[in-house]
Amino acid sequence: MRALKIWGLLLCLAGTGCQTQGEGAPKRPEDAPQKAQKAAESDPNAQCEHKVPKGACPKCNPALAAVYKAQNNWCAEHGMPESFCPVCYPDRAAPSLDSEGEEVAIEARIVRLRRPEMEKTAGIKTVNAREATSESGVQCNVHLGFNQDKTADVRAVVPGLVRNVRVRVGELVEKGAPLFDLESVQVNDLRAERSAVVERVRVAKAQVERMRELRKTDVVSTRALETSEEELAKAQSALASIDGTLRTTGANASGRMILRAPIAGEIVERNAIQGMLANQEDSLAKIVDTSTLWAFCDVSESDARGLAVGQPVQIRLDQQEPIEGKLDWISPQIDPRSRTVPTRAIVPNDGNLRANQFGRATIYADQSEGGVEVPREALQRVEEEFVVFVRDSPGIFSPRIVERLAEGDWVRVKGRVKPGDEVVTTGAVFLRTEVMPGSIGAGCCEIVPGGE
């Protein structure tokens, strides 16, 4: 009986294994190339023949054209969305799509509040964008300093004792005016050495004259005459060197050095006092021509692109009239600590400006790029782009990618923003949170891909 049961079981298994494929049989797996082809056709991110993702292409999906046009995102010349037209912007990355083919490019992440009246609850406020004018420019912090091209540091050429001080701090002096009288042991040594060299020159001259007379009668050789002339040349060179040193020190006939003003200007520092031993490393006085000052402007890294030497600069200090100047230097490097580009302008000084004053400056950079201006708080950073949110209608806001061209309370930008567009100021951070990838959001609005 047990053997019959075993044989029956084996027969059942054999019958199952020999069964032909029918309705209940597993289907034969598809070939790998067919799978890849189907996956590519179903992938909305796969590029179509128009060089954009197939799921976002208005030529492959004609119904999308009306959506893009409603968003004012349309290039009529090429029949593509302006934000990623492959002809107008060949280097701009095309939008990516999710698994359902929904548009998730930044400019397609339309924020729609659940109810329009929630704008007031969220505290959203808007301001109209305005056209950039020639009055707009790059704004930055500025501090004044002395014009180093018109500054002189007075020092002693050789060590000496200060015997007389002739000037005071704040005094105006002309070029060549006497400042200090110094008495120096080295100057006295030079004068004594000069006397010896003068005698040496006199003897050498007499020797040359005598040798020339003797040479005429062939009493001495030509070589002997040349030797005497070389000795005279050495003595004259030594005398010239000593005289040059004495002139540089300003020494007079009595042996005292008189230090004189190398330029005309104001004595802004005077460190020398009577009886002081002045060495070469000691600054005795500083003279500055204060008719012009340097204005050091620290321009943010992003605003330095349009700067050029010669551009006009307007400086505003506390309770003073605006000061006009011109940019005369732009640093080739960025300050590693402040991430700003140091620049400098020359400004006239009517006597009311002081070094180390601080204020604000406006550099009128090239305005040829045009653009519009939006409030600074309207500018937000989404991923790697600057974005402003435009109010399309009550409760609906579109992010627009812009390029920042200048800095200030009103920022000059270039992009798909027109004068008169309502841009969000208060509440822009809230909208930015809603469109950031992976953001949970506040739960009071929805992101509508493509504005549908």
Residue 175's identity, in one-letter code, is K
Which tokens go with 82? 């302006």
Q: Which residues contact 2 (CB under 8 A, 6 or more apart)?
A: none
**Residue with token string 């031993």:** 277
Instruction: Assign domain 154-182+257-286 to a CATH class.
Output: mainly beta
Is it the case that residue 163 has pLDDT exceeding 80?
A: yes
Tens of pLDDT, residues 106-120 = 887 888 888 888 888
Confidence band, pLDDT 50/70/90 cuts, at residue 295: very high
**Res 425: pLDDT:** 93
The boundaries of every CATH 2.40.30.170 domain in the chain are 138-147+290-363
How far, in Å, CA of 362 to CA of 360, rounded? 7
The boundaries of every CATH 1.10.287 domain in the chain are 185-250
Tens of pLDDT, residues 30-51 = 454 454 445 445 555 577 888 8
**Res 89: pLDDT:** 75
Confidence band, pLDDT 50/70/90 cuts, at residue 92: low
The boundaries of every CATH 2.40.420.20 domain in the chain are 106-135+370-449
* Residue predicted with more confidence, 346 or 307: 346
Query: What superfamily would CATH give domain 138-147+290-363?
Result: Efflux pump adaptor protein, beta barrel domain (2.40.30.170)
Kind and range of the H or E run holding 363: strand 358-363
Question: How much is the average pLDDT of 267-287?
Answer: 94
Least confident of 26-30, 114-118, 307-311, 325-329: 26-30
Fold of the 106-135+370-449 domain: 2.40.420
Least confident of 74-78, 95-99, 303-307: 95-99
Which tokens go with 239? 């005398």
How far, in Å, CA of 249 to CA of 155, rounded? 10
How far, in Å, CA of 440 to CA of 450, rounded? 20
Q: Which residues contact 384 (CB under 8 A, 6 or more apart)?
A: none
Q: Find out whether 343 and 283 touch, Cβ atoms under 8 Å.
A: no
**Res 440: pLDDT:** 46
**Res 179: pLDDT:** 96
Tens of pLDDT, residues 350-364 = 989 999 999 999 888
| Burial annotation 1-38 (CB, 10 A radius, 16+ → b, else e) | eeeeeeeeeeeeeeeeeeeeeeeeeeeeeeeeeeeeee
* Residue predicted with more confidence, 300 or 329: 329
Select from 1.10.10, 1.10.287, 2.60.40, 3.40.50 the CATH code of 185-250.
1.10.287
The boundaries of every CATH 2.40.50.100 domain in the chain are 154-182+257-286
Neighbours of 368 (CB within 10 A): 6
Q: Find out whether 193 and 201 touch, Cβ atoms under 8 Å.
A: no
Q: For residue 350, which of 321, 379, 372, 374 has the smallest C-alpha distance?
A: 321
**Res 24: pLDDT:** 43
Is it the case that residue 321 has pLDDT exceeding 80?
A: yes
Which tokens go with 364? 């009128």
How far, in Å, CA of 314 to CA of 138, rounded? 10
Name the average pLDDT for the chain: 80
Question: How much is the average pLDDT of 165-185?
Answer: 93
Q: Find out whether 329 and 346 touch, Cβ atoms under 8 Å.
A: no
Q: Is the pTM here over 0.75, yes or no?
A: no
Tens of pLDDT, residues 131-142 = 876 556 788 899
Confidence band, pLDDT 50/70/90 cuts, at residue 383: confident
Tens of pLDDT, residues 201-218 = 999 999 889 888 888 888
Is it the case that residue 16 has pLDDT exceeding 90?
A: no
**Res 191: pLDDT:** 77
